[in-house]
Chains A and B, each alone.
Chain A
Amino acid sequence: MTERQELFAALSRAVLDGDDAAAPRLAAQALDGGVSALDAVEKALVPAIREAGRLFEEGEYFLPELVTAAQAMKAAMAVLQQALGAEAAALALGRVVIGTVEGDIHDIGKTLVGTLLSAAGFAVSDEGASVSVARFVARARELDADLVCASALLTTTMPKQRELVEAVRAAGLRAKVMVGGAPVSPRWAASIGADGHADNALAAVTVARSLVGRDAPS
C-alpha cells in the first residue's frame, strides 16, 4: 500500500469507527499532504459511509454505529468543504430543508432522517421542530432547495403538511415535498399531493434520491 492508500484506509476506518476526532484530523492531514479534496471524498469518505449503510442493512451495525459514522463523515467533510469549493456543489445530491411541522415537537425521527440524508450526500439544513410553513418556504427559497422534508407525529399537526405542500406550490418553488412521521400513510401523502413519503429513515434516502433524479447505482 502506498502512503496515500494507507491514509485513505485510515480515513475510511475513522468514519466506520464513528471517530469524529480522527476523521477531520486525517482529512486535514490529507490536504496538507497535497491530496485533492475530491479524491479524499470519493476514495475514502463515500466508500466508508456506503459500507456503514451496508453493514446496517445487513444487521451487523446498529443505529449508534450508523449515526456516529455519519457524524464522523460530516466532521471530515467540514474540513474538506473549503478546498472543495465549486466541486462541493456538484458532489451534493441535492439541497434539503427538513423540519417537524408547527405545533409538533417530536423530532427524533426527523433528525434521524436528516442525518442519514446528509450521510448519503445531501446538503441538509435541519430547521428543528415546530417549524412554521412560512419558515419552511422561506428557507427553501433562500437555499434554492431541491427537497423540503416535513415530519408530523400528531394527528392534530398532520394538516400542516397539507398547508406546506400548498404553500410550496403557491410560492412557485421548484422544490419537491416529502412527508413522514408515525401517523403519515402513503394514502395521506397522496391525498395532500406530496411528492414522496417514506416510513423509515433508510427508505427516506431511497425516495429522496429518486425525487431528485439521483437514484443509487445498483
Chain B
Amino acid sequence: MDAVRPRLELFSGEQVEAIVADALAVLATVGVEVENEPARLLLREAGIAARGFRFVPDENAVRAALATAPARVVVYDRDGRPTLDLGGDRVHFDPGSAALWILDPASSRRRPPVTTDLVHLAWVTEACGNIAGQSTALVPSDVPEAMGDRFRLYVALLNSTKPVVTGTFATDAFAVMHAMLAAVRGGAAALAARPLAIFDCCPTPPLKWSDLTCQALLDCARTGVPAELVSMPLGGATAPVTLREMIVQHCAESLSGVLLHQLAAPGAPIIWGGSPAAFDMRHGTTPMGAIETMMVDAGNAQVGRSLGLPTHAYPGMSDAKVVDWQNGMESGIGAVLAALAGINLVAGPGMMDFESCQSLEKLVLDDQACGMALRLARGVGHDSAGEAVDLLRQVVALGGFLGHRHTRDHFRAEQFLPSKVIDRGTFEQWEAAGGRSSFEAAREEVRTIVARGNPAPVADDLRAELTALISAETRRLGIVGLPPV
C-alpha cells in the first residue's frame, strides 16, 4: 500500500460544485467587463452575449472552454529538462514575484534593488534545492522604468537554468520577452513544445479584464506560453469579505480567463492561479500572511483541481518587515498549508512586506520550509508491513539502529535533511559556532553562494543573441545606458 498523501480540503465535493454553480451564475448575470478589443472580437465571434463591453457567458460556453484546457502543464528548464510538472496534487515552489525592494542584509532595512541584486537572486534560487522554479522577483531601480519587465527576464535567463515565472507590465513587452525565450529553445515552435516560462495575467477585481492583462492572456494563448491566471479578490475591498464569496468571485474571474484564453487557442496551457488576500481593516493593506488569505488559497486550489486544471497560489510569504518570528511563522504555515492543499505552483519564498520586498536570506530560509513541506506531502510509507517485527528482533541483539544497514539505506529518503541555516546542534555546538540566529546563518549562506559566481552561465552565442534582442528593444524605446549584467 502506498503512502497516503496528507491533505487539506476545505470543502466536500458538493460544496465545491455549489461554489462553481454560484460562479457560473455570477458570469451569466453580472458578467465580466473586457477592455481589450481583440478579446471582445473573440467573444462576439463565439456568440457570447454582451451588454456593452460586459460579457455574460452562459454555462455551456464556459464548460466548453474547460473541456479544451489541458489538465497538465509541464514547464522545462533552460536545458530542456521537465522541471515543473503541474497538475494533480504535485507541489513545486518558486520565489514570490516583482518586489519593489530588497532587504539589505547588513542593516535589515529595505532599499531599492539594483541589477546586481537580480543577478544574485537568480544565483541563490539556483542553489535552493527545494525551490524548483525561478521568478523575476525584483524590479531593478537602475534600469529605466519602461524596460523593467523585459530586462528582468534577460537577467534571469543568463543566471539560472530554472524555468521562469514572469509577466509583462505593458502590452508591448511580450514580443521581446517571447523572442528571448524562443532564442533559448531555438525557435518559437520548440518553445511551444517545451515551455520555459509562465506569464502571470491578472484580472481586475471585481470581474474585469484590463487591456494589458487581457492582451497578455491572448499573447500567451497564441504562442503556447503557459498563462497563469492571477485573480486577486481582496476580501472587504474588491470582493465580499466572507471567504466563500471570495472564492466564488475568484472562480468567476478565473473561469472568464479560461474562456478568453481557450477561445484564442483551444488546448493552450493555462494555470488556475491567484493572489487573493484578506484586506486588513486597520491599515488598508493586503496581508499575505493572514490565515484567511491562505484558507482562500487552499479553497481556490480545491476548486481549480475539481475543474481539472493545474493550480497556483501565493502562500509562503510574510508581511513582516524584518526576518523575524512573524516572518518565519507566516511563511512556514503558508508552505505547509500549500503542500497539504496540493497547490501545484506555490510562489512566495523570499517575499515579505506583503509582496513588496525580497530577501535573499529569507529565500534560503524558506527553502528549508519548502523542503519540510514537500516532505510532509510525501506522507508516511506503508509498503513494509511486518518489517518492524524483523528489525526489532535483530536489534534487540545488536543494541541499536545507528549501525544497522536499514538505517543507512533509508534515512536519506525518510528524513528531510536540513541545510546549515537550520540549527539542530547542541547548545555548546551552537555557541562554539558563534551563537548565530538563523538570519545570521542565512546571511553567511548567501555570501557563500554569491562568492561562487554564476552557477549557470549560458553559451557565448546564446548570450550574444539574448543581448542583441534586449539591445534592440532598448533602441526601440529610445533608452540609453543599461547596467552591465
* Chain A residues near B (Cβ < 8 Å): 59, 62-64, 103, 105, 108-109, 112, 154-159, 182-183, 200-201
Contacts and interface: CB of A to CB of B under 8 A. Distances in A.
A92 B205 CA distance: 33
Contact of B281 (A63, A109, A158): A63
Given A105-B210, A108-B238, A182-B100, A200 B283 contact: yes
A200 B284 contact: yes
B176 interface: no
Contact of A156 (B169, B210, B282, B283): B169
Interface SS of chain B: helix, strand, loop or mixed? Answer: loop
A112 B283 CA distance: 11
Interface string B94-123: 000000100000000000000000000000
A156 B356 contact: no
Interface of B: 100, 139, 141, 145-146, 148-149, 169-170, 204, 210, 212, 234, 236-238, 279, 281-284, 356
Nearest to A185: B112
Given A62-B282, A103-B170, A156 B149 contact: yes
Nearest to B112: A185
Interface SS of chain A: helix, strand, loop or mixed? Answer: loop
B170 A156 contact: yes
Nearest to A64: B281
A155 B100 contact: yes
B208 to A, nearest CB: 9
A158 B148 CA distance: 12
A59 B283 CA distance: 10
A103 B169 CA distance: 9
A158 B169 CA distance: 12
Nearest to B281: A62
The residue in A64, A108, A155, A183 that gathers the most chain B C-beta atoms within 10 A of its C-beta is A155
Nearest to A109: B284
Contacts of A108: 234, 237-238, 284
The residue in B139, B145, B170, B212 that gathers the most chain A C-beta atoms within 10 A of its C-beta is B145
Closest 4 CB pairs of A and B: A62-B281, A156-B169, A63-B281, A183-B100
Nearest to B286: A108
Contact of B145 (A62, A158, A201): A158
A156 B281 contact: no
Given A64-B236, A105-B204, A108-B234, A155 B281 contact: no
Nearest to A154: B169
B105 to A, nearest CB: 20
Nearest to B101: A183
A64 B146 CA distance: 36
9 contacts: A63-B281, A63-B282, A103-B170, A108-B284, A109-B284, A155-B141, A155-B148, A155-B169, A182-B100
Contacts of A158: 145
Contacts of B100: 155, 182-183
The residue in A103, A109, A156 that gathers the most chain B C-beta atoms within 10 A of its C-beta is A156
B205 to A, nearest CB: 9
B284 A112 contact: yes
Nearest to B144: A159
Contacts of B237: 108
Given A108-B234, A183-B100, 19 more contacts: A59-B282, A62-B282, A63-B236, A63-B279, A63-B282, A63-B284, A103-B170, A105-B204, A108-B238, A109-B284, A155-B100, A155-B145, A155-B169, A156-B145, A156-B146, A156-B148, A156-B149, A159-B146, A182-B356
Contacts of A103: 170
Nearest to A106: B204
Contact of B284 (A157, A183, A201): A201
The residue in B148, B283, B284 that gathers the most chain A C-beta atoms within 10 A of its C-beta is B284
B287 to A, nearest CB: 13
Nearest to B241: A64
Contacts of B170: 103, 156
Nearest to B205: A108
Contacts of A112: 284
Nearest to B146: A156
Nearest to B237: A108
B317 to A, nearest CB: 15
Contacts of A62: 281-282
A155 B152 CA distance: 13
A159 B145 CA distance: 8
A108 B234 CA distance: 10
A40 to B, nearest CB: 30
Contacts of B145: 155-159
A183 B210 CA distance: 21
A157 to B, nearest CB: 8
Contacts of A154: 169
Contacts of A159: 145-146
Contacts of A109: 284
Nearest to B140: A155
A163 B384 CA distance: 70
Contacts of B236: 63-64
B284 to A, nearest CB: 6
Nearest to B141: A155
A63 B284 CA distance: 7
A182 B357 CA distance: 11
Contacts of A200: 283-284
A59 B281 CA distance: 10
A179 to B, nearest CB: 15
